[in-house]
Amino acid sequence: MDHSPVTTNPLIIMMINMTVVFIVLVVLMYLIKLIHFIDPTKEPEVKETPEEEEPLVAVKSEEVSAPEPVPVVEEGIKPEVIAAISAAIAAYGFTGQVKAVKILNHEGTPWRASAKFNNLQRK
């Protein structure tokens, strides 16, 4: 018997290989969905209805009054920073007043590295 290849056309070989890879990916996708469906370690889903928190609603106000001075919420936060945050929020079309600003721990984040770099440049 002659054991010659069926085809030597690279386009046909590519299409066969891509079809096989696509079929394997689809099978893996459904296998992952099946594992998520029958996962015994999964905790049962509890639907929470937050009663204490008010939903965020964008409200258009007809009358625009002068903005009130924003108090410093936390020691070390300058009023200019709070005003910049308020302006950024207003730029997205939301109206209202900033009631609280909280500084989160930024250790190990790109923002922290950028702040350190900017502080070094200023000195």
**C-beta atoms surrounding 17 within 10 Å:** 10
Give the closest residue to 76 by CA, choosing from 58, 50, 102: 102
Contacts 24+ apart (CB under 8 A), 50-58: 58/93, 58/94, 58/95
Segments making up each domain of the chain, as ranges: 79-122
CA–chain centroid gap for 36, Å, is 23
* pLDDT, one tens digit for every residue, the chain (123 residues): 667 778 889 999 999 999 999 999 999 999 999 988 888 787 777 776 656 665 566 555 556 566 666 554 556 677 787 788 888 888 888 777 777 776 666 566 676 677 777 777 776
Note the pTM of the prediction, 2 decimals: 0.33
